[in-house]
Amino acid sequence: MRLIRGLHNLVNAQSALSRGSVVTIGNFDGVHIGHQRVLDELKQRAAQVNLPSVVMIFEPFPVEFFSPEVAPVRLMNLREKLHAFERAGVDFVFCVAFNAEFAKLSAAQFVSQVLHQGLKAQYLVVGDDFRFGHQRQGDFAFLNTQGQALGFEVSAMPTFIVESERVSSTRIREVLQIPDLAQANQLLGHDFRFEGRVIHGQKLGRKIGFPTLNLNPKRLQMPVSGVFAVKVAGLSEQPWPGVANIGVRPTVQGKRPSIEVHLFDWSTSVYGAHVEVRLEAFIRPEMKFNGLSELQTQIAKDAAQARQLLNLKPV
């Protein structure tokens, strides 16, 4: 998979896109099962016409640009999303900087300059509610009209329904707030997970007998918080069991979101490793304790419960 970062870098991909491309557009936050249907259609069509598949995304999301104070928490950071696209078998990801200049493009300019001239789109796969261009002027009907004039086809993917409700990133955020991991995983098509590089922390875990892997989740907000039984991929042949605190660590005056994972029966230093933390079961909300001794007692209880939830032998 190749990443094209910014409109100005489209020129560097012109040789690969010279015969045209098959394109889909959206935020794809979470890359859930509805998104996966769109990606499947994208790849199938690209294979049929022997053209590269392109996913076009925006950084920041349009709502984050226009109304940051009400923008929803992200299910994935950019790196996690790119990994999901790579796993899905996409050829190109075209990441556009959503700024004031881009926001001014009319729907017609967007189609002509970006889709037709830039990506040389021969086929578009979009959601049936897709809107684009200045003040969201463009819609599926407009794309169809433009396609007839410029020589590309458009396919609208219908809303994907599970248990009589639309599958959406918003719905997944809502169930994660409960948190209902089983339903979130059903809608995502996989375990909810975070990725990150193991960094140096305050090393307080060592002092209380529970050393932790510290990850910077690269977010200002977290879609879920609390203590969870987890499995960590990327350190051994099989995901390794542990217990994790996800949040801001109020007991030690934490301010920024963090992920701290205590791995069971693990002693090897893994600073710098890139890992994936998969949430297996919810244990409790994040809490503030009166000092490290009280925190230590609770972590011991959490670890014992996590072992039980993960079907491990108690210590």
pTM over 0.75: yes
The answer as to whether 315 is a domain residue is: no
The total domain count for the chain is 2
- Does any domain span residue 229? yes
Say how far apart CA 247 and CA 260 lie, in whole Å.
9
- The reply to whether 153 and 196 lie within a common domain is no
39 contacts 22 by C-beta, under 8 angstroms:
no
Q: What pLDDT is recorded for position 296? A: 86
Do 139 and 280 belong to one domain?
Answer: no
* Residue 167: inside a domain: no
Question: 25 forms bridges with which residues in the sheet?
Answer: 56
Confirm if 168 and 28 have CB atoms less than 8 A apart. no
Q: Does residue 314 belong to any structural domain of this protein? A: no
Determine the Cα–Cα distance for residues 125 and 142; give it in Å rounded to an integer.
14
What's the rounded Cα separation, in Å, for the pair 121 and 162?
31
Q: Do both 107 and 147 map to the same domain?
A: yes
Q: Which of 148, 139, 154, 275 is nearest to 213 (CA)?
A: 275
Q: How far apart are CA 119 and CA 152, in angstroms?
A: 12
For residue 58, the domain's CATH number is 3.40.50.620
Domain annotation covers residue 177? no
Question: Does residue 247 belong to any structural domain of this protein?
Answer: yes
- Last-in-domain residue among 117, 137, 160: 160
For residues 146 and 57, state if they share a domain. yes
The whole-angstrom separation of Cα 147 and Cα 277 is 43
Q: Residue 235 has what pLDDT?
A: 94
Instruction: Give residue 56's pLDDT.
Output: 97
C-alpha span between 59 and 7 (Å, rounded): 12
Nearest residue to 279 (alpha-carbon basis) of 225, 201, 214: 225
- CB contact set of 123 (below 8 Å; sequence gap of 6+): 22, 23, 45, 46, 49, 51, 152, 153, 154, 155
Residue where a domain stops, chosen among 114, 141, 160? 160
Residue 183 domain-assigned? Answer: no
Q: Are residues 261 and 301 in the same domain?
A: yes
Would you write out the chain's pLDDT as a tens digit for each of its 315 residues?
999 999 999 988 888 999 999 999 999 999 999 999 999 999 999 999 999 999 999 999 999 999 999 999 999 999 999 999 999 999 999 999 999 999 999 999 999 999 999 999 999 999 878 899 998 889 999 999 999 999 999 998 888 888 888 999 999 999 999 999 999 999 999 999 999 999 876 655 555 567 889 998 888 889 999 999 999 999 999 999 999 999 876 544 556 788 999 999 998 888 899 999 999 999 999 888 887 888 888 999 999 999 999 998 887
**Encoded amino acid at 205, one letter:** G
Are 108 and 221 within one domain? no
List the beta bridge partners of residue 279. 230
**Domain-located, residue 290:** yes
Single residue among 160, 179, 208 that ends a domain in this structure = 160
Domain containing 27: what range? 2-160
Q: Are residues 141 and 196 in the same domain?
A: no
Closest CA to 244 of 315, 297, 303: 303
pLDDT in tens, 266-277: 988 888 999 999
Please tell me the distance from the alpha carbon of residue 247 to that of residue 30, in angstroms, as a whole number.
19
**Same domain assignment for residues 28 and 93:** yes
Q: Any idea what the CATH number is for the domain that residue 280 is in?
A: 2.40.30.30
Domain identity same for 94 and 197: no
The answer to whether residues 107 and 207 belong to one domain is: no
